[in-house]
Amino acid sequence: MKTVIAWWDLDSGTIDVASLRDCLRREGVQAWAEMPGLVAKFWISNGSRWGAVMVFESEDAARQALPPNRAAELIGGPASTRLTFDVEAFVSGPGGAAPWQ
C-alpha cells in the first residue's frame, strides 16, 4: 500500500478552513468514494493548513489520474507539500470507519 499526504498552507488569506470544509461537505466526497484502488481518504486541518491523507492499494493505484482537485482550485494552486510513503501496516478500530458528518 501507498499513502499520499498533501498540505496547503493557507497564509494567503484567499480562503479559510471553514470555507473549505463547507465546500467539501457540499461537493468534495463522491468522486473519491468511486475511485478504484483507494482504500481510504481523509481530509485534515489545523486552522492554518488544509490537507488530505490518501491510502491506496498499490503504487499503480496511487499514480492513476485523480478526481478534480477542488481544494487546489479554491486555494489557487497545488499543495504546498506532497509526500508519498509506503504503508507498513494498517488497522481499523473495532468500530470501523466513522460515518461522514
Q: Which domains does the chain have, with CATH numbers?
A: 2-86 (3.30.70.100)
**How high is the pLDDT of residue 68?**
86
What does pTM read for this prediction?
Answer: 0.84
Answer whether 25's CB lies under 8 Å from 41's CB.
Answer: no
In the block, residue with C-alpha cell 489545523: 46
**How high is the pLDDT of residue 44?**
95
**pLDDT tens sequence across 24-66:** 888 878 888 889 999 999 999 998 899 999 999 999 999 999 8
Query: In which band, very low, low, confident or very high, does the pLDDT at 98 lie, cut at 50, 70 and 90?
Result: low
In eight-state DSSP terms, residue 77 is S
**How high is the pLDDT of residue 31?**
84
